[in-house]
Amino acid sequence: MRAYQTLLYYCYSPIENAEEFAQQHLEFCKSLDLVGRIIVADEGLNGTVSGTQEACKAYMDTVHADERFAKTDFKVDEVDEPSFIKMHCRYKAEIVHSGLRNPQVIDPNKRTGVHLEPKEFLELKDREDVVILDVRSDYEHNVGHFKNAVRLDIENFREFPEKINELAKYKDKKILTYCTGGIKCEKASALLLHEGFENVYQLHGGIIKYGKEVGGKDFEGKCYVFDNRVAVDINQVNPTVVSTCFNCGAVSSKMINCANPECNEHFTQCDECGWKMDGCCSEACREHPRKRPYDGTGYYVKIPQSVDVSKRKYKKFPEKTLLTNE
């Protein structure tokens, strides 16, 4: 048994005075010496926290004791060290940004796709009348995805509503949605139903639970996670690596953030290119005066900064860090 655990969870449940709750919850987490990242919104909780076995048990027990969150499904990983550096608990408008002008029209507590347990998903996924839909961002599915899954070209889940028209050709199919832990599928499946899709399903507990309960069969590559582990193994049945190094094209599953904080591109880079490029995606970034020291991990604590995008002299990339799961 390892000394620490990492908990991945979410719960759609209305929270009154959610902004005040976020501050109180932060103090509670700190009292347990937990580290991680939690988003609190009027609609519920979305978090990943890490700490000792005892602290994680105390956290889960306390959350489950609150009737608002009694149904919370925790995905628990045993880890050698905490998966974060600091503890953050912030209030936001949504626990996962939907990109909808009026997100209230989609309420996962009222209507979502049919929840499939991992065994049911495994039994259905290869049928001819089924389409597997990855609702995650491109940087996530590039490092790992289900075999034959439809993958959307989106930099962030908030772009998902813009892709609905592209999915219209699958309206006569059973659509099996999946994501890391299940939270994005709650809104993605609800939106598909709202837009007239009839046979919509979602993988309950996401990729993480699928790996734990049925061995991860046919999940190709690794699963991107939103902590300093970056990507974790899922497939214990027929594993493979599908991602390639951004710089040289070699097969690699290692994802990093560019060492230039004004670029911060999230990309796959092999160890050889990592040291050669000093953790940067390009020579321009390697020579940038603000380049952060590279220690081989490509993981940096997020520091708020003001960036003048108009003055960039290199390719514009989405602002992503390892500390966000939207």
Query: Which CA distances in Å does 186 have to 110, 190, 238?
Result: 11, 6, 28
Contact 256, 299 (CB under 8 A): yes
Q: Which of 11, 29, 179, 285 is catalytic?
A: 179
Contact 229, 254 (CB under 8 A): no
Report residue 53: phi and psi, to 5°: -55, -45
Q: What is the 3-state secondary structure (H, E, C) of 4-24?
A: EEEEEEEEECCCCCHHHHHHH
User: 50 forms bridges with which residues in the sheet?
Assistant: 6, 35
169 class by beta-carbon count within 10 Å (0-12 exposed, 13-18 middle, 19+ buried): exposed
Active site residue 179: yes
CA gap 93, 42 in Å, rounded: 7
Contact 58, 32 (CB under 8 A): yes
Catalytic residues: 179
